[in-house]
Structure formats: C-alpha cells, structure tokens
Structure 1
Amino acid sequence: MRAVSAPVLSAEIERFVQHLRVERRLAARSLTLYTAALADLQARAAEDGVELPSAQPHHLRRWVARLRERGLGPRSIAITLAAWRGLYRYWGRERLVPNNPVDGLRPPKAPQSLPKALPVDQAVALMQAPAAAESGAVSAALAARDHCIVELLYGCGLRVGELVGLDHHAGPQAAGWIDAADASAHVLGKGSKRRSLPVGEPALQALAAWLACRGLLAHGGEAALFVSQRGTRLSPSQVRSRLKAMALAAGLPTGVHPHMLRHSFASHLLQSSGDLRAVQELLGHANIATTQIYTKLDFQHLAKVYDAAHPRAKRR
C-alpha cells in the first residue's frame, strides 16, 4: 500500500501549523485534521486564482458551499472552518491581513447526538467477566492487564489516549501515572492539561494483579504501564480491539469501545450524585456545556423508568 504524502503547504501556512504544534500543543489527531483543512483552503484559493491574504468573505462562502456540495457533514465543516478561522486570526496578529474573512461564517447546525453509555448492569458484567480460559503465564498476564484496563476506563473515566499514556512510575518525563499509595491517577489530557483523579479499590486491586505479572511481557526499561504481548507500549487501537473482544465474551453489545466506558462513568456518576460540576472536573472538560449533555442522558434514563413503572405513563 502506498504511503499518503503530507500536503505541501505555503511557508505562511506552515508557520501557522508550527504554531499549533509547538505553542498551542494541539493533539496529533487535531493537527492532522487542521493541516488537511488548510491544504484544502490553499487548493481552493489556487483554483480560483485568489491570494489567501486578500481573500474576502464571499470567497470563503463559496468555498464552504463547495464543501457542502462535496457531501461533508456539519461536524467536518465546523472543524474546517475552525482551522481557516484560526489561520486568519494568526495572520491578523502578525499584521498580514486587516480582518478575518471567516468570522461571519457558521457551519450548518449538526443534530446533537447523545453519548452512548452502557446500562449499569452491563458495565458491571464487563468488570466481572471471567479471565480468558487459556492456560499459561502469558495468557494470565494478558487477562490481568485487560481487566485492569477496563477497571480504569470505567472507574476513572479516562480517555483511551490518557490510559495508554500512563507510565509505570512517576517522573519528570511521565505523561501520566498511578499513585497506588494515594489511590490517585495523574493524567495528561486534551490541551496538555493535567488532572488528578481518585482510583477506587477494585481498580487498585486490578492494578496490583497486573503489576505482579507485568514483567512477563514488558521489555527491560519500558516505561509504559500497559504493554502489548511484544513488550512495548499498548496503542489505542489495540485497546479498542481487546475491549471489543472482552465485551463480546461478556455477552455485551458488539459496539463497546473505550469512550463508551468514559460515557458510562460520567452518566452513572451523575445519576448517583447529581453533581454536574464534579463530573466536569473528573472528565477534564474545559467547558461545563460539554458535560451538560450527560444531564440529557440522565433525563432519558429517568423517562424510561417513568414510562415503564408509573401507571399514568401507560399509553394505549
């Protein structure tokens, strides 16, 4: 399979990308999306014979219309506009443009979809699923690792990137670690923001079981807490694959993925406590509006209970 070459950007756009990478410390996935959006902007301007610093709002409106004609969804268009707007704001600070032609543009409104969370009984079933039946020390180590992973994803609400970024020991170079003595996890979240989370007793027990056999898999000197069978740091795709297999073995829906356990953590915690601000802090959301979507999920759960149980809710 041929490797996909990176887009060739102008020097002016490349400086903005460097700004995003070094100063803004944009996540790798976001940087890839922004770079693609900026390459698209550059191509559309060249196609129409427009110098980007001289582009006017009507040019940008035309290019957004072409995105819609191409079939891009509201979320993709929103990301594209964010990249374009950021470029012109950066150029504005550099005094390369007098105004931002993207400022008045808004993406089409996307229908708000509720996050998918597991019911409590299914989440508990996944945590309590028996270890793999294969015999042998390596199989037992893999089973202990996988159990620890699901306990941390559900028990702490970690993103999969935060989970695989955990190191075996705390240190100046560690992106994240778990302090078992203090029952706390310290992770590096979005925007390179650190946060600390409590770790429950079941997760601590699972961690101790995994650490007892981690040496069977980890290469000497490997810093990662979670390693693959090859002895190196586990990747997000490997975690997704293992979680899918575990969910199937536990009789859960096939669509279980790491972020569903994060949604489940938030939803179940909000149902029990009703403390939206605490859930925001634990999830590491910069804006509480992001967390408020779980109140809708909570209301949906309550509505189902009402429809099923209250005599006045019965519909003919």
Structure 2
Amino acid sequence: MEMRKRIMRRNLGLGGLLLAGLVLLGGCNMSLVNLTPETHPANPSNVYTLTLEVNHRSGAVDRESISPQVVIDGQMFPMSPAAVGENLFEFDYRLPPGRDRAAYYYLVRYDIVSDGRRHQREEHSAIHNLAVVNRYALSLEVDRAPAGSRVALVGRGFSRSDQVFVGGEPAETVFESPTSLAFFLPALPAGRTYQVTLRGAESTLNAGSIRIDEGRLRVVPESLSLTTGARRMLVFTLPSEAPPGGLLIPVTTDVPDSVIMPEVIVPAGSRSVNIPIEGGSPGSGNLYVEAAGFEEIIIPVTIRRGDS
C-alpha cells in the first residue's frame, strides 16, 4: 500500500510539472503585429518608418527586457519605442539609392522569469515586403460640390494621359503638373457620394470619394407668354463655369408643337447662355429643365395666336 502511494505521488508530481510547463509555454507566446504599409509614397529623404506592435499574454515576461529588432538584407537594426502608443516600436530605414523595395522581418528577444530564474527567449515574424511608389493620389481639394464644379487632385506621378472617373463615369480632366490634376464633376444624380479613381496607362489609383450636392440652376424668365412666330430669350445660369466641352442642359416640354428652341449648351468656361424661344402652334404647357445634379425647374408656357 505504501509503495502504491509513492507511485501515485510521483505521477501526480510529474503531471503537475508537465501542466506547469504547458502553461508557461502557452502564456509566454508573443504576437508580433506589423503595422507598416506594404507600399509607401516616395519621399525626398528616401527614409521609411517600419512599425511593430509587440503583445504578450504572460506576467512572466520581463517587459523591460523586450528588445525588438528588424533584419533587412541580413543586417540587424535595433528598434526604438514609438513616441505615441503602447507596445509600439519603430525604425527609420533609409532605402539604398537605386532601390524601390526591400524585404525584412522582425526579431524580438526577451526574458521570462519563473521560480526566481531568468530565461532568454526570442520570437521572429514572417518575411514582409516594403515597396516605394512614385505614383499616387494623395487628396482631393474638397469632399463635396455640385455637378460641374472644378475639383483639384494632389498627388505624384501624374501624366497627360491620366483620366479621372467619378462613380465610374469619365470626368473632364485637366493635367496641370506631375503633382496636380483638376477635373470637373460630371452631371450625376445629386445627394450621393461617389468613388473617385484615377486611371493611367499602367495603373488605376483610388483618389477618395466626393459627394455631389444639388446645384442651383437659374432660368429667367420664370414663365413665358408668346404669340405664334414671336421670339424671346431664356437665360440659363450655372453656379460655376461650365467644364471643357460645355455643359448640356436637357429641356423637354409637353407641348412640342408650341415651342421651338435649340439645344441648351452652356459653352466651356461660361456660366450662362441665352437661348431663343419661338412660339409655334397655340397651346399651353410647361418646359421641364432636368439637368442631372440640379433641382428640376418647371417653366409655364402659353402660346397664343398672333391676332388674339
């Protein structure tokens, strides 16, 4: 009986040691989170910041002993605590001249303290890649505007072949410099937010989003009364200059035999246009001005016989 008790005690003792070892190993695992973007806009200094977040789940880890390093091209560089944020470490890497990419991984050495003893450990990350791009869209000048507005886009690596698209629709694009473009918001339904993309010969860039607000189109006079054969001018005025190529303003009527008028196109760079209206067959109805991005305007029209 005494021998059986001794065997049981030994087994329990061994099991306890194994369990403690499993807890220690599991609790000391560290997670290394790479917070560095895969692509960086090129900068004149050619210096790019690598950022690592180090997390641990065990009180046995000596926080003061945590020593992160980054290994690039076989060379090891110590990382420093970030100025902002807990458990964050940074290293400013100067990319060698003539290169636009690099591969790297993180190595973290630390100590664990158990039963008064200190043990050294280390963890390493997977291999990460850094690429520097010379073409990117940085920001839009505004985040909302009415249709027809001119909007500036700032970035780098622009060319004359670049084309801006708003909500998938091509926008009239003006090349100003390798770091600046401008485009005119196309006539799209107002009250919505649209994705802005920049398409070039080699790549498509996301330039952000913009909301198209309802513009204020004015038409004067607000009603028409004509005799058959008589003419009068309608003045259409935009809130901003028309884009290159001009802006078509669709106008329809429910009395097509009574109203004779040409298409309404505001010339490029202009804010208004005068359109002649001629009275046709006698009748009464409305003109409907329904340009996308603008509030609908209804103009009552009455055409009388010339001798009445």
TM-score bin (small chain): under 0.3
Bigger fraction of residues in strand: 2
Q: TM-score, normalised by structure 1?
A: 0.18
Bigger RCO (CA 8 Å, 6+ sep): 1
Q: Highest CA radius of gyration, 1 or 2? A: 2
